[in-house]
Amino acid sequence: MKYTLITGASKGIGKAFAYECAAKGMNLLLVARSESLLSKLAEELSAKYKIAVDWHVADLLDHNAHKKVFGWVAEKGYNVNMLINNAGMGLYGEFSKVDLEDHLKVMHLNMDSLIRMAHEFLTTTDANQKRYLLNTSSSGAYQPVPYMSIYGASKSFVLSFSYALRYELLKK
């Protein structure tokens, strides 16, 4: 049985992805920080769409979260053929007035964590099966975003990385 793994799945765009995938009959593995939101969403999707849904609580700001998530996948014996790399965050405010550590958290979640999850997905899943990777970016990737400078820049990184990775993976 194949599964789609969605990060940041408990709310926002991640939750919307979960509903869209469920409506298409895809089995889901939901990852986010909120156990109560994940549990409720998994129950709803499973009942409404008659699909297999499991969930795992993970804070992707943890530098080892990618290992923990894919360790859970391996432990459960799930066959993940799609990763929707959606977890992300942004802050609003004048750059110099926002705490530097908060800026670094945005950068880590939007870029480092995304890279770690993509790498873990591509190195631990079956390369002989068709696999899909969707990295969520933003329209903010296409222009400077005043008062959200780190968010816009991090989403530009995601866009550029995704284009480059797409080219590499098409060659296989």
Q: Are 106 and 155 in contact (CB under 8 A)?
A: no
Q: Find the catalytic residue in 19, 92, 132, 151.
A: 151
DSSP state of 146: T
pLDDT at 163: 97
Interior CA angle at 22 toward 69 and 31, to 5°? Answer: 20
The set of residues, in sequence order, having a beta carbon less than 8 Å from that of 125 and lying 6+ positions away, is 79, 80, 81, 131
Amino acid at 12: G
pLDDT at 32: 98
Cα distance between residue 111 and residue 105, in whole Å: 10
pLDDT at 154: 97
Q: How many CB atoms lie within 10 A of CB 73?
A: 22
DSSP state of 147: T
pLDDT tens digits in sequence order for the chain, 172 residues long? 999 999 999 999 999 999 999 999 999 999 999 999 999 999 999 999 999 999 999 999 999 999 999 999 999 999 999 999 999 999 999 999 999 999 999 999 999 999 999 999 999 999 999 999 999 999 999 999 999 999 999 999 999 999 999 999 987 6
- Is 151 marked active-site? yes
The pTM of this model reads 0.96
pLDDT at 172: 60
Between the CA atoms of 62, 78, 20 and 37, what dihedral angle is there, to the nearest 10 degrees? Answer: -50
Cα distance between residue 124 and residue 44, in whole Å: 29
Cα distance between residue 156 and residue 141, in whole Å: 4
